[in-house]
Amino acid sequence: MRHFTRWSLAATAAVAMMGTSQFAYAASDCKELILGSAISFTGKYSTNGIHAKNGYDLAVKKVNETGGVKIGGNCYKLSIKYYDDESTPARTAQLLERLIKQDGVKYFLGPYSSATTKAAAPVVEKYKIPMVEAEGASRSLFNKGYRYLFAVLSTSEQYLASTIALAAEIAKKNGKKPGDVKVAMAFEQDPFSLDVRAGVIDDIKKFGLKIVIDDKLPRDLSDMSATLTKVKALKPDLLLISGHSKGAVTAARQIKELNINTPMIAITHCEAGKIISKFGASTNGFLCPTQWAETLSYKGKAFGSAADYDKLFKATFDGYTTVPYQSAQASAAVLVWKDAFERAGSLDTEKVRDAIAATDMKTFYGSIKFAPEGNNIAKPMVLRQIQNGKYNVVAPLEWASSKIEYPRMVK
C-alpha cells in the first residue's frame, strides 16, 4: 500500500510537471513571479472559463518569451497558479483565501463571470491584494468603492446602449422624430441582463424613445413566442434581447418561426450562441455587441494588432475557428500586470496597485485606462451586424468596417 502511494505520488507529480512544462521556462537568471486565479474549469461557466485560461496562458507565454517582467533591474518570469472554482461563487471566495493564506500569492487575475467576481472582490479588498479581472462586466462591481479591483472590459450597461443612439439617428435621417421610435425589450432577470437594461433605459430617456414592450425573461428560458407574438402586434422599430446564449438561440429560432420583421434587432451573446451556424440566413441583419473583434484596428506592443493576436491564438490552441473575446480580454489583463509591475519598479502590493490605477496603455484589445472605480473607460463596446453570414463592425463609426443595413433584410 505504501509503495502504491509513493508511486502514485510520483506519477501525479510527473503528470503535473508535464502539464505545466508547456509554459515553464528555464529560470536561470529570472525569478518566478506568481499570479493567482480561481477560475471555472468545471460547471456551467467551464467553457468560457477555459477560454479565459487560454487567454491568460498565451499572454504569460508571450511576456516570458519577450524577456519577462523587469522590476528594478531584476528579471521575473510570470506564472499562474490556478484553482477550479467549479462555477460556484462561494468556492471562488474560499479558493482566493487559500491562494492568499496558504500559497502566499499577492497578485490576482479574475475568475470568469460577474457572479464569481462579485464574490472575489470583498476577499481581495480585505487582504488589500490587487486583482485585474477580465470577465466580470456587471456594473455593480464598480459602484461599491472597491480599491483593489480593476477590469479591462467594458461594463455591461454599455452592451446595447449604443443601439438607441443608432435608432434615433436613423429615425432622424428618415424624417421621423425619435419620439416615434417604438422599442420592444426582453431581458433576462439576472444581474448581467438587468445591467444591460439599465444602460438601455438611460439612453431611451436621453433620446426620448418610446417603450412598447418591456418583458422579463426567466432564467431557464426555452420559449419566448408569447413575447414575440406581442412584437408582431405592436410592430416596434427596435427589438432588444438579452439573455445570454440561451436568449440568443431561443430568440433567433423563434424570430424565424414567427416571421418577425422588425427592421432593427439587437441581441447579446450571438457569438456564444453560435446563431449563424445554427440558423443561417435568417440571422442576417441582427446587431450583436461585442467587447472585441479581430477585425478592429487596435494595436499594442506585446501582441501587435488584433489580427496578429487572432493568428497567434489560433496557432497556439487547437479547435478554435474564431477567437472568443473572453480570451482576448484575459490576455489584456496579464499585459496590465506586466506594465504595472514595470512602472511600479517594485513588488510591493500598494505600489503596484497605484501603478495599475495609473495605467494608460494601448493594446491589441483596445486602450486601457481605469476610472477611479476600477472599470476601463478607454475602450468602447463594439456593435457588429450579421451581414451575409459574417460579423461586420458597424459602430462606433471610428472602427466600423461596414455600413449598417437598415432595415434588416427579411426574406
Partner 1 sequence: MLDNLNLLVIAPYLGVQLLLDGIFIGAIFALAAYGLALVWGVMNVKNLSQGEFVIMGGYFAWYMSTYGIHPMYALPVAVIGMFGFGWVVYKTIISRVVEKDMFTSLLATFGLAIVIQQGLNLAFGPEVQVAESGFPTHTIPIWGGEITVAAIRFYSFLICCVLAGGVVAFMKKSRMGQAIRATSQDVRAAKVMGIDTEKVFAFTYALNAAICGAAGVLISMIWVIQPFYGITHSIRSFVIVTAAGFGNLAGVLMASLGLGVVEQYGGFILGAELQQATVVGMLLLVLIWRQVQMNRVRQAVQ
The residues of the shown chain that bind partner 1, judged by CB under 8 A, are 42-47, 186, 189, 215-218, 220-227, 229-230, 232-234, 245-246, 249-250, 253, 256-259, 272-273, 278-279
- Residue 377 Cβ vs partner 1, minimum distance, rounded to whole Å: 32
Q: Which is nearer to partner 1, 86 or 373 (CB)?
A: 86
Q: Which is nearer to partner 1, 33 or 183 (CB)?
A: 183
Q: Which is nearer to partner 1, 151 or 224 (CB)?
A: 224
- Residue 87 Cβ vs partner 1, minimum distance, rounded to whole Å: 8
Is there a contact between 250 and 260 (Cβ–Cβ < 8 Å)? no
- Residue 386 Cβ vs partner 1, minimum distance, rounded to whole Å: 16
Q: Which is nearer to partner 1, 239 or 355 (CB)?
A: 239
Q: Which is nearer to partner 1, 66 or 189 (CB)?
A: 189
DSSP assigned state of 405? P
- Residue 251 Cβ vs partner 1, minimum distance, rounded to whole Å: 10
- Residue 398 Cβ vs partner 1, minimum distance, rounded to whole Å: 33
What angle separates helix 325-344 from helix 349-357, to the nearest 10 degrees?
120
List the one residue out of 64, 77, 80 whose CA is nearest residue 30.
77
Q: Which is nearer to partner 1, 32 or 257 (CB)?
A: 257
What separation in angstroms does the CA of 3 have from each of 12, 14, 17, 202, 363? 14, 16, 21, 67, 52
Burial level of 35, CB count in 10 A (0-12/13-18/19+)? buried
**Backbone dihedral angles phi then psi of residue 347, each to the nearest 5 degrees:** -100, 5
- Residue 130 Cβ vs partner 1, minimum distance, rounded to whole Å: 30
Can you list the alpha helix ranges (DSSP code H) found in 22-111? Answer: 46-65, 89-101
What separation in angstroms does the CA of 160 have from each of 17, 195, 242? 45, 10, 9
What separation in angstroms does the CA of 287 have from each of 24, 224, 383? 42, 19, 7
Is there a contact between 78 and 338 (Cβ–Cβ < 8 Å)? yes
